Structure 1
Amino acid sequence: MIVPIRYIETLPGKAAHLFLFSDGNRYAVKCKNNFHGTRELVNEYVVARLGQLLNLPVVPFEIVTMTEKQIQQIPKKFSSHYQPGKQFASLFIDNCIGLAKKPPRPTINELNNPHILAGILVFDYWVHDADRTKSNILLKRHPDGQYDIHMIDHGKCFPGGYKWNAETLQKSKKFKKESIVHVWTVDMLNDLNIITSYIEKILALSDVSIEEVIQDIPVDWNVSNENKVALFKYLKERKKTLAESVYTFVKKYLN
């Protein structure tokens, strides 16, 4: 198990803090009871695990245990609210940029894994990611000019976002997010079969694998059994309308 060695800085957005860890890597750490609430950690963890099951480019992450003393390395205006215990830490990847607000942007031929964008679009519709912005798709450029794609920041997923519960999940509305990332993805689509293949991957995810992810949520993140059941039910039910909602969006922007 890796442990934090040294606090480096608080990252833009103020919800994550960069630490050097015992494995020699730097991780962006989100702590329990931050100003968004501990649900942010729950969402990050569940969505990252589900993304891994689908072979999406989720940044590697760890659940790390931090003591009160380690937390106190963070400036007091943040850390005074934090709680010791398990925290969510994602690997910090150097030399990445977000998606440009306006063209020019990388073309399909400049991406090492362009099909992955279709997977991210479909996945975001499944997990109700209302916060897929130009800054949480990371583009890492290599010396040959090609880009790798990474996905981060899933703390605001599911109906209710940082404050979801059984009630908000049951009252879920249609996903209407029109993300610049999703529009960029559709602009580069030359084959709808790529979209279809990712829909089929999600539909093929077994109930057992989804339930296992939810049951693995750390106990000290305080998700009740009722809310775990509700989240499982939401993800299962969402599969039924996934294809329709994705295709509606894609056809709207398809050139």
Structure 2
Amino acid sequence: MIEPVRYQKKLEGKSNAHLITFSDGNDYVVKYFQPGFEKSLPNEWVAYCLARFLELPIPYARIVDIPEEFSNNIKELAGLGSVKYQYASLYKPNCFDGHQVLDVSNLTNDQVQLAGIILFDYWLCNTDRTRKNILLHEVTPNIHGLSIIDHAEVFGTYNWDLPDLENLPTTLLKSATHQIMTLFIEEEENFSEQLEIIQTIPVLLMEEIVDLIPEEWAVSKEEKKAMVSALIRRRKKVLPELTQRFIKKIYHPLKSYD
């Protein structure tokens, strides 16, 4: 397992993320387990694993063991290292968020992939797909590659309780980022293709992903079971309807002006 070797800086945002260099020579964005945001790290882990399976553009991530003495010797991390394991995603330099790029005129991402991101957010009830939660890397002038980051608020929030998972919202999301991606999706069939893929993800895989959540992140067996149940229920009963509503209310109107 890689080890932290040098602290860089605290990053902007409410997620308490820090840039740390590890023994593999790479910089990682590390999110620490913290009170009040108890489900942030479990949410990040489950979303990451499912996004990777769906081949969505998400930075490589891993669960890391950061010694308490490392954290305690750094002012910005003091008091955060009482939990052994933290969540770390590979830092992507030379990227900008959606607010920093004024004109997204072209994307290198495949249309199927963009449709997959939108359905992924509806499946996991990601209420925080803002322009700040994408990364844009300029490949050539005015042509960018898009990656997705920050999934602390899937399942509706970063501090959900067991009853919340049974009553997740089933409404359309207000996301300017979804609208930007929609402009580059030419074929409506991309949505049905991605829906079919999501609906055929093995239940055993979802169970294994959830089971890998460290005990230190304080997700009970009942909550882990409820996470899987929510994923199964939403992909079967909720996602098909939301997909059709998204196509009718957002996709068609945007494409008619394209």
Query: TM-score, normalised on structure 1?
Result: 0.91
Q: Secondary structure, in 3 states, of the residue corresponding to 1:96?
A: coil
Residue 144 of structure 1 and its aligned partner are, at CA, apart by 6.4
Following the alignment from structure 1 to structure 2, what is the Cα–Cα distance between the partners of residues 173 and 146? 35
Aligned-pair CA distance for 1:11 = 0.3
Give the corresponding residue for 1:185.
Answer: 181
Task: Give the gaps of 5 or more residues in structure 2.
Answer: none
State the Cα deviation string for residues 48-93 of structure 1 (Å, max 9, x = none).
Answer: 00111111112101111011111124435x5324424000000000
Do the aligned residues in 2 keep the contact of 1:17 with 1:74 (CA within 8 Å)?
A: no
Residues in 1 aligned to 2:103 and 2:37: alpha-carbon distance in whole angstroms:
37
Query: Distance in 1 between the 2:66 and 2:163 partners?
Result: 32
Is 1:154 equivalent to 2:155 in the alignment? no
Shift of 1:26: 0.3
The 1-side partners of 2:102 and 2:139 are apart by 20
SS in 2 for 1:59: coil
Q: Contact 2:66/2:81 (CA < 8 Å) preserved in 1?
A: no
For residues 102 and 143 of structure 2, the distance between their equivalents in structure 1, rounded to whole angstroms, comes to 17
RMSD over equivalenced CA pairs, Å: 1.9
Number of the residue aligned with 1:176? 172
Mark the runs of 5 or more structure 1 residues left unpaired by the alignment: none
Displacement, 1:150? 1.1
Partner of 2:94: 95
1:40-79 counterparts in 2 under 5 A?
A: 40-76=40-76, 79=78
Identity over aligned pairs, percent: 33
Write out per-residue CA displacement over residues 145-166 of structure 1, whole angstroms, 9 at most, x where no aligned residue: 542221110001103x111122
Matches within 5 A, 1:200-215: 200-215=196-211
Shift in CA distance, 53/195, structure 1 to aligned 2, threshold 3 Å: same
1:139 touches 1:148 (CA, 8 Å); kept in 2? yes
CA contact (8 A) 2:123 2:234 kept: yes
State the distance in 1 between where 2:166 and 2:198 align: 20
Is the Cα–Cα contact under 8 Å of residues 52 and 58 in structure 1 kept in the other structure? yes
Alpha-carbon distance in structure 1 between the residues aligned to 2:227 and 2:158 = 13
Name the CA distance, whole Å, in 1 between partners of 2:101 and 2:21. Answer: 34
Identify if the C-alpha distance between structure 1 residues 178 and 98 changes in structure 2 by more than 3 Å, giving closer, same or farther: same
Q: Counterparts of 1:128 and 1:74 in 2: how far apart (Å)?
A: 35
Residue in 1 that maps onto 2:84: 85
Q: Provide the aligned length of Structure 1 versus Structure 2.
A: 250
Q: Following TM superposition, by how much is the alpha carbon of 1:143 offset from its aligned partner in structure 2, in angstroms? A: 4.3
TM-score (norm 2): 0.90
Q: Is the 8 A contact 1:71 1:84 kept in 2?
A: no
